Each structure stands twice: as structure tokens, then as C-alpha cells.
Chain A
Amino acid sequence: MENKKTVISVKNIKKTFQDRVVLEDINFDVHQGEIFVIMGGSGSGKSTLLRIMAGVIGFDSGNVSFNDKSLIDLSVEQKEQIRKRFGMCFQSAALLDFLTVEGNVSLPLKEHTGLDAKIISMISKMKLNLVGLAGFEDYLPSEISGGMKKRVGLARAIAMDPDIVFYDEPTAGLDPVVCAVVDQLIVDLTKKLKITSIVVTHNMESVFRIADRVAMLYKGELLEVGTTEQIRNSSNEIVQQFINGNIDGPILLNEVKE
């Protein structure tokens, strides 16, 4: 295999919320141009991990670095610069509800590029077209369905042509066809535009359809990182139970609170 460049490196991350440990001892690297999938049960800390990687929330100890630059050492302005090269697609879409669909997609362009309004409108229409929402420019978020909101969120995440895109469950709540379309979109963006994608999902079909490498998170710990093949053939019982969706196995439904 060719020599891969590491874009994000996560080292020994620990995160607590009010004395409750949510993530501990997390270590992995994300390579340039790959689709890195983080899977894990509900509440296992996937969204939290994604937020930490995107630099939205802090962590207790450990380190995250981008292209070998540590997040902790960066000044506020450098952080802003890095953020402009990120796109983030939220689990809840997180559209600004006083802006129209087009307003939402064009917001980062308006704020950061100084391009002509016409060009901005053209770019946003193009991005909306990519997610299959051409013609919905003037709707407000409250007037479209949950799945549509999600796709608008996706269009917004890629509006600035970012280098790295974080997707938090991009296909949850979408019908199977749209789900496949979004998966295809993620693959296309990543492969054609050389974007690095980090995708949180627990849709197994998606995982094996799009992933280059997969990380399995379980109760705040990283169980395994590897290629889809490695994960499929994993000897870890929890991983096997999770990818096959078995009822019997080591995963307990009633989470025990320590």
C-alpha cells in the first residue's frame, strides 16, 4: 500500500462530563483522502468524539493534531483558519431556522469568501443540486422534512469545499434510496475531490458500502480500528455482535452506570 499521510491524529483522549467519563484512552489516525467510519452503540460517545476532533468542544487530557499541528498549541486565529477548511454535518442538521434553505447553505460563503452574491447563489444551488434538493431554495427549515434538513446540512457542510468533512449520522432517518444516494455522495466527494471524510454511523450497510477504515467505539473505549475486512473478520465478540446485530452476546442492553 502507498504511504499514507496522516491528517488527524487523536492521542490518548479523555473526556468527562460532570465527573462521568464519556471517552477514555482513544488513539487513532485518520489518513488523507480516506473515509473513516466511527461506529458504536447509542451513547457510546461517537458524537462527542466527532465534536472533539472538529475542535468544537474541549477535552480533559490527550491531544488532537491536524497535519502534525497540535490543536492545543494553536492561537484563536489559527483555529479559525483550520475551521474554515472543515465541514460539519450535524446529527440534528442544526440549520439556522430564520434563514431559508439557500440562506443556510450560502452562509459560510457569505461570511468568509467575499464573492459576488450571484456567484454565491450559484454555488449554493449547485450544492443543493448535489443532495437532490434543487428547487427548495426558498423554503424555511420548518417547512421541510427531517431527512431534507439533513441533506441541507450536508450541502452546507460542503459549501466551502472543505478538506475534511465530519458527518454525524448522515443517513439516519433517510429512506433506503436517499440513504444510498447520500452514501454515494460521500464516496464521490471523498474520492473525486480528495476530501477526507469522518463519518459517524451505526447503519451497517452504510459502513461496508463506504468505509475505508472503521473504528468501533464501545462505552467510551476504542475496541478496534481497521479496514472493513479486518473488522468483518474481527475476533472481538462485541464487534461481531454489533455488526451482525445479534441479540445474544456480550453487549448489555441495560447500561450499567458506574
Chain B
Amino acid sequence: MIRILLSKMLDFFEIIGKCVKAWITIFVDFAKLLFETIYWIFLGPFKKKPINFSSAFDQMVFMGFQSILIVFFVTFFTGMVLAMQSAHQLEKMGGVIYVASLVTISICRELGPVLTALVIAGRIGAAITAEIGSMKVNEQIEALDTMAISPIRYLAVPKLVALFIMLPFLTVIGDVAGIIGGYVVGVFSLKINPGLYMNITWKFLTLKDIYTGLSKAFIFAIIITMVGVYQGLKTKGGAVGVGRATTVSVVTSFILVIVADCFMTGIYFFWGV
């Protein structure tokens, strides 16, 4: 009886050990990938292997301009919802007018960056993994290797550069769209005077709200690209494998974006930055 219990316990610890080991390997591999990407961005130019800006520009068009509309709609409607929900509460305290500042600040600090990042993780993170993953299963990554072309430099660097520039840009658009959403509800439904609404908006919005939000966008860009590239390069097993890797990539990005957001908000909150 005790023997069985003991062996079950040992099995249990073994499973935990294996999980921990697997996680450590993933973490180390990911860190290596990140390091190598950053290495190529900053040291590549000195080794006569500069960033491929024309490829980065193509990526920027695909990632940035073609995402504007979807980002706009998501944050616009979120702004509207936020305005309606908070008006309901603020009404009880007779402060409906503060809908303006509430919407603006929560959009700029949190919802703008986070929602934009989630939309982009779904759109761009998935695309990155699918592209690199299908190259992996079709021996194209190996072909790059045999030509002494680093897949990280050739594929990952332009994508990271592009998203690092475009995600903050999209976040600004998201912020503006959210504020407009709040404005539409505030002015047309809650009948707040338009001038007053904008007045309150500007009065409470500080530069800090904007740059804390934007600083998050830079981190999210790194998370989305690197998770996408990592999952892509790890892909195995044909078309099915590509599908699986894409799903894992998006889910991982979602979780990491939310966790990173929590951390950064915590840092800003406690250190009063």
C-alpha cells in the first residue's frame, strides 16, 4: 500500500520535474532567439550585414497600414461601451461629465495599447508564425542555412523592426479612435456639451498617460514578433504542424501581452512613474 503510494508520489515529482525542465528549455531557447535578433539589429551593420530596410518597409505596410481599420473599429466601439457603462455609474454620483476623462485615461493607459496589441497578435503574430512555419516544414529555412544566410537576420529582424515602429503608431490610432467613441456617446447620447467634453478630456489627460501607454506598445511589439518567430522556427509536421504552431503562437502572445501589461502597470503604479 505504502509502496504504491510512494511510487505514485515519485511519478508525480518526475512529471513536475519534466515540466520544469521543458519550461526552462523553452525559456532558454527563447532568450537565445531574442538575443540573436537584437545582435543582428545592432551589430549586423558593422559586419556588413545591415538591416534589410526594403523588406522591413514591406512588412510595415502589411502590418501597419493594413491593420488601421480593424484597430480603429475595435477601440472605437470599446470607447463607446466604456462611455455607456461608466455613465451609468457616474450618473448616480451626478458626475456624468467625468465620462470624458474616464474614457480617455483608461483608453490611453490601458485599453488602447492592450486591445491594439491583441488585435495585432491575432493578425500579425499568426501571419508571422504561419509564414516562417511553412518555410520550416518545406526545408526553406534549411536552404537559407546552407546558403549561410541567417534565417533570424533575414526573416526575423525586418519583422521586429517593422512591428516595433508600427505598433506604437497603431496604438496612437487606437487611442484616438477610443476617444472618438467616448465622444460620440458623450455628446450624442449623454448630451454633454461638445466643448465641455473636450475640455474635460484635455484637462485630465497628462503626457504621462500617453507615454506609459506607448511604452507598453514597444514591449508588446517585441513579444508578438518574437513569439511568432519562435513558434514558426519550431514548427514540425507539415501543414497540421503549421496550424498548431499558429494557434500556440497567438494564444501565447495573448497571455504574455496581458501578463506584461499587468507587470508594467504595476511598475508605473508603485514607482509612480
Contacts and interface: CB of A to CB of B under 8 A. Distances in A.
Interface in B220-241: none
B48 A88 contact: no
B22 to A, nearest CB: 16
A74 B34 CA distance: 24
B139 A90 contact: yes
A54 B147 CA distance: 11
A83 interface: yes
B161 to A, nearest CB: 17
B142 A94 contact: yes
A108 B149 contact: yes
A242 interface: no
Nearest to B47: A77
A111 B147 contact: yes
A51, A80, A86, A111: most-surrounded residue (chain B CB, <10 A): A111
B66 interface: no
A191 interface: no
Size category of the binding interface on chain B: 10 to 19
Nearest to A80: B148
A107 B55 CA distance: 13
A127 to B, nearest CB: 14
Contact of B146 (A88, A92, A114): A88
Interface in B36-55: 48
Given A94-B143, A95-B140, A96-B143, A114 B48 contact: yes
Given A96-B135, A114-B48, A90 B142 contact: yes
Interface string B133-176: 00100111011111111000010000000000000000000000
A94 B141 CA distance: 8
B48 A83 contact: no
A89 B107 CA distance: 53
B121 to A, nearest CB: 22
Interface string A67-93: 000000000000010011010101110
Interface residues of A, number: 21
A97 interface: yes
Per DSSP, chain B at the interface is helix
Nearest to A83: B148
Contacts of A83: 145-148
A86 B146 contact: yes
A97 B135 CA distance: 8
Interface string A134-175: 000000000000000000000010000000000000000000
A92 B48 contact: no
Nearest to A96: B140
Interface string A104-145: 000110011010000000000000000000000000000000
Contacts of B135: 96-97
A50 to B, nearest CB: 10
Nearest to B153: A111
Interface in A40-77: 51, 54, 56
Contacts of B144: 96
A107 B145 CA distance: 12
A229 B223 CA distance: 60
Contacts of B148: 80, 83-84, 108, 111-112
A155 B174 CA distance: 48
A94 B138 contact: yes
Interface of A: 51, 54, 56, 80, 83-84, 86, 88, 90-92, 94-97, 107-108, 111-112, 114, 156
18 contacts: A56-B146, A83-B145, A86-B146, A88-B147, A90-B142, A90-B143, A95-B143, A96-B135, A96-B143, A97-B135, A97-B138, A107-B147, A107-B149, A108-B147, A111-B148, A111-B149, A111-B154, A112-B148
Among all A-B residue pairs, the 8 with the closest Cβ atoms = A94-B143, A94-B139, A83-B148, A88-B146, A108-B147, A80-B148, A84-B148, A111-B149
